[in-house]
Structure 1
């Protein structure tokens, strides 16, 4: 039955059920609830054919690239099956855009775990050692992802790994400039951008062996196990590609909570304290991965620049009346804080 709060124009459960019968899923769809909200992907938790599943489709007002992003997610999760990377199990995907009125969607196994950005339970609330171990495992899980042979698991042709690092600064500074086309956004509101861009170009490390890049790896995009301290699943794969996996490590470091500062991610876990510091994360990553970590500061600075530019987009849209002003201002402040953080690393 279609819940009153869920418009059939967003997810028509009857259409999904008809599609599912061809995919081997039988019986009614029940216990439907929405996870998250806003302008991000539509994510529903539901029960179907005796299984707890999650359905993901693009936002209610999809962007031109939304279907491609979901198709990448499908391919990535399918490829990771059987690996030691903690991830939701891929169940089935629909590439026929006629089923849901113009968008693709897919189903994955629901993962019971705590989101560190929202709320954590036991063992994390009462055990400092558990919090510290879970923090370290975010680095270990990322290192395991970087160790996957992407060609062996069928991901040849995903992304453009050749010249990946060389493209990053021009791509993201151009992306920031594009916000000036949004009505009401004057541009020039982020500090240090030009100096950081120059520093990154002057200190770019040699190309490393390509691998899987999650693209948005931080505490809000992992679920922590409720059985033992560690990562139960890495989620939200919409920015995944093949490139230099150390950019993910830089992203984790630049978004990692700092004592005495507003945490950009992982607020619920960070409030309890006793997390590893960035140096511990890098060292623990190195116990799992054989990648050269000598230029980790460079990757952290690049991640900070990219992170700031990405989230500034919401601020730009808010100034045009296209997003919540309070959210836009909060993300702008986070963008500025990230740039200040990496400017100190780069000496800018």
Structure 2
């Protein structure tokens, strides 16, 4: 093909991304032609694959599912590209999609191209400006709150996302949905069952205290600080990333998620946020709730309920890896680490409902 050549480093598996096929597809999209240069894998908090490259004078990041696709991998990638496309132009801090490959036959998996994000992930990096100033770190936490509040304030129907989730009965579904998930882990041979004190008690409290009224909106679904990129020259969020758990539901669960995952130095959970979690200096839950209210007209009187739900849901999600580790399907060290965080999350939930 005219103008097309490929410089493909050995660390990029052709079975993962066939750049000859990607180049042909990019040409069909009207994107600049040329040689692929600077191809490099990017790390992330998920098993999804991200590769950065330059072609025709423009920088790109390609995102696709893992090499060994799971049942929902392609659907997740297509949903991500759809919601990011819908958010373009709204002012929400999110990656900008350049083009999406709807057909799995280009590289054998769904993928999309997005613009690279200029920023750092506080799980793995903390520039001197941020490391040396607790007020900057406090403002980082508030900027993360603002980001989810602005997201939850959008009119999802006006953005063409009316069918992106099933908001009817969203809150009612949560406890039975996640108790069923926890029960499903018993299929892992070697897993003796959840040793999590008071799971049923927390679930019962959630059912008895569930908010009677709420307004549907866009939910990021996994908005802890390790899924945020921050500006190098200030505390502002550069982009919220990893949208694979996004849906239409109750956006206040995002607020509860940020409070539940707020890193407290010295805890196991703080290690999930890495460098930033170790130094702390983040806003208090009360400051986070008040700040959310500056960008939202939602009723925040039930913020504790959403925090307890976040502890309950995330704790059960993490327990899944512990169960797989017990069956030899995940590293034991990772399973033990996440189980310890599950216990911390449920301990936090118990403190909140006492």
For Structure 1 versus Structure 2, the TM-score category normalised by the shorter chain is: over 0.9
* 2:153 is the alignment partner of 1:147: yes
In structure 1, distance between residues paired with 2:134 and 2:313? 32
For the 8 Å contact 1:123–1:229, the answer to whether it is kept is: no
Which ranges of structure 2 fall in alignment gaps of 5 or more residues?
1-6
Q: Name the structure 1 match of 2:83.
A: 76
Aligned with residue 62 of structure 1, among 69, 75, 84: 69
Aligned counterparts of 1:186 and 1:273: Cα–Cα separation in 2? 35
After TM superposition, the runs of 4+ consecutive aligned structure 1 residues lying more than 3 A away are: none
Match of 1:307 among 286, 290, 314: 314
Distance 1:38 1:344, change over 3 A: closer
| Deviation readout 1:41-71 (Å, 9 max, x if unpaired) | 1111222232222111111222111111111
> Is the partner of 1:3 in helix, strand or coil?
coil
Matching residue of 1:250: 256
Aligned to 1:130: 136
Matched, 1:175 2:181: yes
Residues 152-171 of structure 1 mapped to structure 2, 5 A cutoff? 152-171=158-177
Partner of residue 329, structure 1: 336
Aligned equivalents of 1:274 and 1:46: distance in 2? 36
1:41 aligned to 2:41? no
Distance 2:57 2:324 in 1: 42
CA contact (8 A) 2:119 2:230 kept: yes
Q: TM-score, normalised by structure 1?
A: 0.96
CA deviations on 1:271-329 (whole Å, 9 max, x unpaired) are 33321111111111111111100001110111111101111111111111111111111
Q: Work out whether residues 95 and 115 of structure 2, in 8 Å CA contact, stay in contact via their aligned partners in 1.
A: yes
Flag structure 1 segments of 5+ consecutive residues without an equivalent: none
Task: Answer yes or no: is the 8 Å Cα contact 2:265–2:279 preserved in 1.
Answer: no
Q: Give yes or no for contact 1:255–1:264 (8 Å, CA) kept in 2.
A: no
Give the direction of change, closer, same or farther, for the CA distance of 1:109–1:38 in structure 2 (3 Å limit): closer
SS at match of 1:271: helix
1:93 to 91, 100, 115: 100
Per-residue CA deviations over 1:252-280 (Å, capped at 9, x if unaligned) read 11000124423053221233332111111
Query: 1:126 offset after TM fit, Å?
Result: 2.4
Q: Which residue of 1 aligns with 2:272?
A: 265
TM-score (norm 2): 0.94
Q: In the TM superposition, what whole-angstrom CA distance separates every residue of 1:77-119 from its partner, at most 9, and x where no partner exists?
A: 0000111211111111101111112x20011111011111111
> Is the 8 Å Cα contact of residues 47 and 66 (structure 2) preserved in structure 1?
yes
* Separation of aligned partners in 2, 1:12 and 1:182: 35
Counterparts of 1:189 and 1:100, CA distance in 2: 42
* 1:224 and 2:211 correspond: no
Do residues 290 (structure 1) and 290 (structure 2) align?
no
Partner of residue 34, structure 2: 27
Among candidates 213, 220, 234, match of residue 207 of structure 1: 213
Q: CA RMSD in A?
A: 1.5
Give 2:326's aligned residue.
319
**1:211-241 alpha-carbon deviations (Å, 9 max, x no partner):** 0000101000000111322101000000100
Contact 1:55/1:105 (CA < 8 Å) preserved in 2?
Answer: yes
Secondary structure of the residue that 1:124 maps to in structure 2?
Answer: helix
- For 1:118, the equivalent position in structure 2 comes to 124
Identify the residue that residue 349 of structure 2 maps to in structure 1. 342
1:12 matched to which residue of 2? 18
Q: 1:30 to 1:104 in 2, by over 3 A?
A: same
Which range is displaced more, 212-221 or 126-135? 126-135
Q: Please state whether the residue corresponding to 2:39 is helix, strand or coil.
A: strand
Deviation at 1:38, TM superposition (A): 8.6
Aligned residues: 346
